[in-house]
Amino acid sequence: MNTLTCIVCPIGCSLNVEEGPQGADGFPALTITGNNCHRGLGYAQEEIRAPKRVVTATCAIEPPPASTGHSLGFPRRVPVKTLSPCPKALINEVLADIYRLRLKPPVKAGEPVITDWQGTGITIVAVRSII
């Protein structure tokens, strides 16, 4: 039996998940108890079968040339995040690609810095504007 804390809402129900025999879909049947609403069922199923997380990181920014006089105190990194949750198994690969990027300012908050990462549909956006 697995015990999870549902993070869908602030109540944080403690969910008990018992795995049964494997079904036709290749996954074990799950018996989930402890949820106060149906959303806890979906959360527990996804968390057991295909856990995902929103990925947050920072990405390098190319500073303006020293000759412009704007390089002093210019931010070196910009916070970024995935627009949708990313499968946990792919998080290290996503982070490696984010850390390889060097963005040229200006960067606007909400602007995609990577679109459809490796064909998965995952988009990574800037969280802060750097102008």
List residues binding ligand SF4 (CB under 6 A).
Answer: 6, 8-9, 11-13, 35-37, 39-40
Q: What tokens does 104 get? A: 């040229």
- Dihedral pair phi/psi, residue 99, rounded to 5°: -70, -20
Smallest separation, CB 119 to ligand SF4 (Å): 32
Smallest separation, CB 17 to ligand SF4 (Å): 12
Q: Which of 96, 98, 123 is nearest to 112 (CA)?
A: 123
15 or 86: CB nearest ligand SF4: 15
Smallest separation, CB 30 to ligand SF4 (Å): 14
Query: Which residue's CB atom is positioned nearest to ligand SF4?
Result: 40
6 or 61: CB nearest ligand SF4: 6
44 or 125: CB nearest ligand SF4: 44
Measured from the Cβ of residue 90, the count of other Cβ atoms closer than 10 Å reads 17
Q: How far is CA 11 from CA 1, 36, 37, 46, 78, in A?
A: 22, 9, 11, 19, 33
Residue ranges in 1-131 assigned as alpha helix (H)? 39-49, 91-100
Smallest separation, CB 49 to ligand SF4 (Å): 17
13 or 86: CB nearest ligand SF4: 13
